[in-house]
Amino acid sequence: MTCMTVEEDAGLPRIEPTSFDLIVVGTGLPESIIAAAAASAGKTVLQINPDPYYHSPFASLSPKDLISFLHLHSATTSDHDYPDFRTVDSPTDQTTDSSFNILPLSTRPLYSFVEVHVYSPEKVLDDSLQKEFNLDLAGPRVLFCADPMVDLIVDVDVQNCMSFMSVDTSYCIYDECQKGKGGGLLWNSVPGSRNAIFRDGTLSLKEKNQLMRFFKLLQAHYQSNSKSSTTTSNEEDDENNSSMKITPEDLETPFVEFLTCKIRLSPKLTSIILYAITMADYEQDNVAACKKDIVKTKVGIDRLMLYHKSVGRFRGATGAMLYPIYGQGELAHFFCRRAAIMGGISITQMPVVGLLVDKDVGNYKGVKLVTGQELFSHHLILAPTFVIPPGLTTPSVSPQDGYYDFVQQDAREKVVRGICITDNSFKPDVANCLVFYTPKSLCPDQMTSVRIFQLSSNVRACPSGMFVVYLSTICGDVVQGKRSINAAIEALFSTSVSGNSEDNSRDPLRENTVVKVKPTLLWSTLYIQELIMGGFDCVSSTPMPDGNLQYSHVVDAALKLFQKMYPDDEFFPKKMPCEVVENGACLSEG
């Protein structure tokens, strides 16, 4: 493994060799996956971390480091706070000794409206405790046992270098008042299996039967699709089952309409499926608010089957989801290390100040470091904090190749994220759990669901006796998004030092009873994260973490970028041996 830092030598290190197949600037999760995949395919790879923090924006940091990072990359950051490449005196037409033009590489803010509240500084900000915290910048985020990220982990044998913990349970907070029944907010368990349905005390016998029939219908649908690809359909069976069959027309209807009209599920079950299993963002009953974000039945069924396949995939995993011990930053850390093991070079704390382009044509040729050294590569991948400069010439490619079909852009939405450190759990016997507030369950103008993830010290998220709680919601209106997150914090926690705040709402400690004491807030932060999409061109960029719980978009982006650069190479050979074993594997299928 080759790794250098700019602090190792007062004169700053010189990188040898100077020419690579791929240069990756950034150590976030998608950049690290691409670097590891390229190195595994035999490419020469250089991965540069220009940031003082590793694996951003997928890092796991202490409270002090997290706030420092947010301020460094927020809209209010001043130039002297960070070695911002915008301050480098490198005009566009500046030439070098090697006869290349330099395009200055600039950065952009990734976060805004950073708020921090400290209620118990002696318990959270003590220097001796900082190393015991691992707070995820992109939380809440989990691994579904059957999703593409876990498939990649199994293929690359990451599990022999990391340990994972199963998420204990999930709750969906459903507002019966919104459905005309009265009674306020109810905490309902999210059933993850047939046994869980029968054990669930919050579901009536009628609702249990409805769910069982629905899941049987889904299984029959998938079985019939798999059979139709190899055998002809049985017309007699089609006639007998026509009343309980998912038709092609059904697949194109809104999922909420399919659940309520065809399957005739109760409003409570519909909400649980829509927001806690298929992870719908916007209120699905409100077509005007959803716009193009309405979940179609085909998408909803695919997500349901992902959830169903995730349950029971691994021995020791009690539910559908996993979380990496020591935080999601461990995933990026593994892939960085994998790239180095496979022959890549890694260099840290080395700013890149510009791109080298051919004088005559304007094609990308390489990068210039803050040390003045010039490095060359066939391809370049940039982290989302960088703005791809204008002036690069796109190589001529026929349209059917599809190589340059998307470009770096900002999404119209943003993600409001919150992190809270508390002194207690939502439920005494539950350490790690997910909570979903359905739209309008917190406030009348809440158009999107709020997702909450509680973690304990058993995943090394915090010191013993504390809990870390992540909150997030997607929003087009920042004010509305912040209002929803703050309403969830107010509903769940007390800011009283004594922790004796009383609440007359429904109980997160015991279903359908009255709250006596809420967990007490010790520290919290709230911030807005930009949703920057990646792009592939002569210089490519990776995306910011999206607003979903899973990592599917990360794997998808990394795979697309890799295949467009190296269409004839395999994206990670199967079952690669792992040379570093730390905590032992817990991902044993069976």
At residue 234, does pLDDT exceed 50?
A: no
pLDDT category at 587 given cuts 50, 70, 90 is low
Name the region of 38 (left: φ>0; alpha: ψ -120 to 50; beta: rest).
alpha
pLDDT at 498: 40
* CA 305 – CA 299 distance, rounded (Å): 10
* CA 501 – CA 497 distance, rounded (Å): 9
Q: Which percentage of the chain shows pLDDT scores above 70?
A: 78
How many CA atoms does the CB half-sphere of 20 hold within 13 Å? 28
At residue 301, does pLDDT exceed 70?
A: yes
pLDDT at 514: 40
At residue 77, does pLDDT exceed 50?
A: no
pLDDT at 297: 95
Decide if 307 is inside a domain. Answer: yes
Average pLDDT over residues 567-585: 59
pLDDT at 377: 96
At residue 525, does pLDDT exceed 60?
A: yes
At residue 359, does pLDDT exceed 60?
A: yes
Other CB atoms within 10 A of residue 110 CB: 24
pLDDT at 111: 96
pTM strictly above 0.75: yes
Other CB atoms within 10 A of residue 398 CB: 7
Name beta bridge partners: 536.
Answer: 406
Decide if 263 is inside a domain. Answer: yes
- CB 322, CB 165: distance < 8 Å: yes
Q: Which residue has the higher pLDDT, 155 or 489?
A: 489
Average pLDDT over residues 507-520: 57
Q: Which percentage of the chain shows pLDDT scores above 90?
A: 55
Decide if 260 is inside a domain. Answer: yes
CATH number reported for the structural domain that contains residue 209 in this entry: 1.10.405.10
At residue 446, does pLDDT exceed 80?
A: yes
Strands (E), 340-456: 345-348, 352-358, 364-369, 374-382, 386-387, 409-422, 433-437, 450-455
pLDDT at 379: 95
Lowest mean pLDDT among 44-48, 193-197, 434-438, 448-452: 193-197
Average pLDDT over residues 304-320: 87
| CB neighbour burial string for 27-54, b if at least 16 within 10 angstroms, e if fewer | bbbbbbbbbbbbbbbebbbbbbbbbebb
At residue 261, does pLDDT exceed 70?
A: yes
Q: Residue 505: which of 521, 517, 522, 519 has the closest Cα? A: 517
At residue 241, does pLDDT exceed 80?
A: no
pLDDT at 288: 65
Decide if 201 is inside a domain. Answer: yes
Phi, psi (rounded to 5 degrees) for 94: -60, 135
Q: What are the residues whose beta carbons fall under 8 Å from the beta carbon of 478, sequence distance 6 or more?
A: 113, 414, 416, 528
Label each residue of 447-516 as H, E or C: CECEEEEEECHHHCCCCCCCEEEEEEEEECCHHHHHHHHHHHHHHHCECCCCCCCCCCCECCCCCCCECC
pLDDT category at 281 given cuts 50, 70, 90 is very high
Rounded to the nearest 5 percent, the helix, strand and coil shares of the chain are 30, 25, 45
Decide if 501 is inside a domain. Answer: no
pLDDT at 51: 85
At residue 433, does pLDDT exceed 70?
A: yes
pLDDT at 394: 53
- CB 376, CB 368: distance < 8 Å: no
At residue 129, does pLDDT exceed 70?
A: yes
pLDDT at 23: 97
Decide if 130 is inside a domain. Answer: no
- Domains in the chain, number: 1
Range of the domain at 301: 168-221+244-319
Decide if 178 is inside a domain. Answer: yes
Burial of 302 (0-12, 13-18, 19+ CB in 10 A): middle
Joined tokens for residue 13: 């290190």
At residue 578, does pLDDT exceed 50?
A: no
Joined tokens for residue 580: 């570093």
* CA 179 – CA 526 distance, rounded (Å): 31
pLDDT at 113: 94
pLDDT category at 185 given cuts 50, 70, 90 is low
Joined tokens for residue 257: 């309409």
pLDDT category at 92 given cuts 50, 70, 90 is very low
Decide if 197 is inside a domain. Answer: yes
Burial of 372 (0-12, 13-18, 19+ CB in 10 A): exposed
Q: Residue 446: which of 276, 278, 286 has the closest Cα? A: 286
pLDDT at 166: 92
Average pLDDT over residues 113-125: 94
Joined tokens for residue 244: 């309980």
pLDDT category at 2 given cuts 50, 70, 90 is low
- Reported as a single tens digit per residue, the pLDDT across 455-482 is 999 999 999 999 999 999 999 889 999 9
At residue 274, does pLDDT exceed 70?
A: yes
Long-range contacts made by residues 240-246, C-beta under 8 angstroms, separation at least 24?
244/217, 245/220, 245/221, 246/217, 246/218, 246/221, 246/297, 246/301
pLDDT at 511: 46
